[in-house]
Chain A
């Protein structure tokens, strides 16, 4: 069975500090991993996907199959990064996304 684990419910960092939101998954095949974000009073939206290998709003995430992880990182946190972040997994692109329970990031000025 597919499972996504986000071990931290809440993560607080100071503005300008590095941030890492952890995500681990369990799936024996070749997964597709995503990060979704929900800013206050906004819709849940896609932030980035591992196959794109892109940086969005300064965030990057690398799929580590050996550690079955897909941690989200940003070198310098900004106040506007405060939001709820969800890691999600699918496989073959034809199965629905399985989400982690989410991590609330709070960036303190």
Chain B
């Protein structure tokens, strides 16, 4: 298994542009999480899904951020319009049903730079 797959690995864009980050969880995992990592704030949970249903999106910074999980093998995190303060590494993680939410399997992250 290749693990959690994220794309793109790096994205450089200009302020105001739309950014879409993609994630493919490990097959069979039923929970999916989006985290954002910055130097100042560390790892922050943005949103998580259970069986493709969004459970808690209270960490989504504002309406510019949206996330979807149309099926068990794909999720997107969209920022529209992007701003320089959105620059961060965005991690997707998945977790199997029998491990609760404590054992997460992380992707390699998508490093976003908004100029």
Contact = CB atoms under 8 A, between A and B. Distances in A.
Interface string B1-37: 0011000000000000000000000000000010100
Contact of A90 (B35, B101, B106, B108): B101
A28 to B, nearest CB: 19
What's the interface size class on B, roughly? 20 to 34
Given A96-B45, A101-B41, A43 B101 contact: no
Contacts of A97: 33, 45, 101-102, 104
Contacts, number: 55
A96 B33 contact: yes
A43 B48 CA distance: 19
A34, A45, A86, A97: residue with the most chain B Cβ atoms closer than 10 Å = A97
Interface of A: 32, 34, 36, 43-46, 49, 86, 88, 90, 92-102
